[in-house]
Each structure stands twice: as C-alpha cells, then as structure tokens.
Amino acid sequence: MQKFLGCMTEDNEHIFTKPPKIIDGSFEKISDLPDYKVISEYIKFPEHQSIWLKNEFNNLENRMAVAIHVRRTDYINLPEIYDVLTKKYYINAVNYFQETYKSVSFWLFSDDIKGAQDFLKDVVRFERVVNSPKDVPVGENLKLMSSFKGIIMANSTFSWWAAYIGYMNGRTVEVVLPSKFSTLDSDNPAKYLSMPGWNMLDV
C-alpha cells in the first residue's frame, strides 16, 4: 500500500525502484551527510554581521564559554514525543564542564528565555542570556552558538548543527549531547548523531 501511494518510510526504502512522492521518517544520520567540505559550501554564514552579533562576539572573546541550549515552545506542545530532557541532564552537563575546566562561563540559548531560566534557575548561573532582536536572522544565532568552545545541546537539531559546524571548523572542543532526542523506541543518538570525542549523558 505504501508503495502504491508513493509514501516511503525508513523501513521500506528498499522496495522503491523510482523516487517516491512522499518521504516520511527521521533521517538525521551523520553517515548520510556528505564530506564537511561539501557541507561547508552549502552552509555559509553571510559575511555581513549585525551590530548585535558583533557585540556578542566581543563579549565572547577567547575564553572557555559554554552555550547551553534549551528547546521549549513547540516541544512543550508535544510532550509525548519531545519531553525527554530532565533537569538532571543539565546538572550533569554543567558539572562536567565545571569539573573539567577551571574557569567556565555559561550562556543561555533558548526559544523561550523566561521558561528556560525558570527551568534551570537552581542548576546554573548564566553569565549571559542570548536574546537577539527580532530583526536579526536566526542564522546569526546559529553562527554565534557554533563559535563556542563548549556546547550543551538540547534534543534539537538546531544545537546539533551548531555543535557539528563548530566541531568541524575546530572552534568547538567540547560537546555534551543527550542520550535520547525523543520518546521513540528507535531513538539512539549514539548511532547516528554523535561525533568522536563528544560526551553523551543520560536524560
């Protein structure tokens, strides 16, 4: 029936002899990506930077700063799928950096700044909360996050791409990612989203 309708999932792609009409599934796998040299040709940040981004880079300077990403808004509306990250995950991630490095500063990135601050208020003190103006392209937030030496990812491809770009260009040296990105039984980031040297923590 799926072949007749032209709907391909991850489990039946072998049955298709011609391109399907619909592709349904989760296809975030490092093994499916081309070489980073190819990716970097497609993912190019604009040379022009807003005054906001320039100021953030000035504040970042060259120290051990860690970006903490907390994904909320749309995930809150789908708790049966995305409500997997616990406060314990962030506590252990923060402890990892504090035990590994002498001087660490933490910056918060989130699509719900207030909600994220309330969620982590007894976990970490943020040196800076990244809250870009509405007229700043979201790509500048991604560029900024990918410039951090340390990244604590959320169960989100936004912070994954920031970590991946930063890791591949040599800027990001420490990455913590969650052991699950969703409630799906097949979810296993260790197999398809973790790079060598990244630290995976239980959620």
| pLDDT in the model for residue 12 | 64
pLDDT, tens only, 25-84 = 655 678 778 888 888 888 888 889 999 999 999 999 777 999 999 999 989 888 888 888
- Give the lowest-confidence range in 7-16, 115-124, 139-148: 7-16
pLDDT digits (tens, 9 = 90+) for 7-16: 766 666 667 6
pLDDT at residue 101 is higher than 80:
yes
Report pLDDT for 29.
77
Give residue 188's pLDDT band: very low, low, confident or very high (50, 70, 90): confident
Comparing 187 with 76, the larger pLDDT belongs to 76
Average pLDDT over the chain reads 89
User: Which of the pair, 128 or 190, is modelled with greater confidence?
Assistant: 128
Averaged pLDDT for residues 106-135 = 96
- Res 197: pLDDT: 94
Q: Which is more confident, 193 or 24?
A: 193
Q: What is the pLDDT of residue 191?
A: 78
Is 141 or 23 the better-scoring residue by pLDDT? 141
Average pLDDT over residues 172-194: 88
Q: DSSP per residue over the chain, as a string? A: -HHHHTEE-TTSGGG-SS--SEE-S----GGGS--HHHHHHH----S---HHHHHHHHHHTTS-EEEEEE--HHHHT-HHHHTT--HHHHHHHHHHHHHH-SS-EEEEEESSHHHHHHHTTTT---SEE----TTS-HHHHHHHHTT-SEEE--SSHHHHHHHHHHHHTT---EEEEES-SSS-TT--HHHHTPPTT-EEE--
Global pTM reads 0.85
pLDDT at position 20: 65
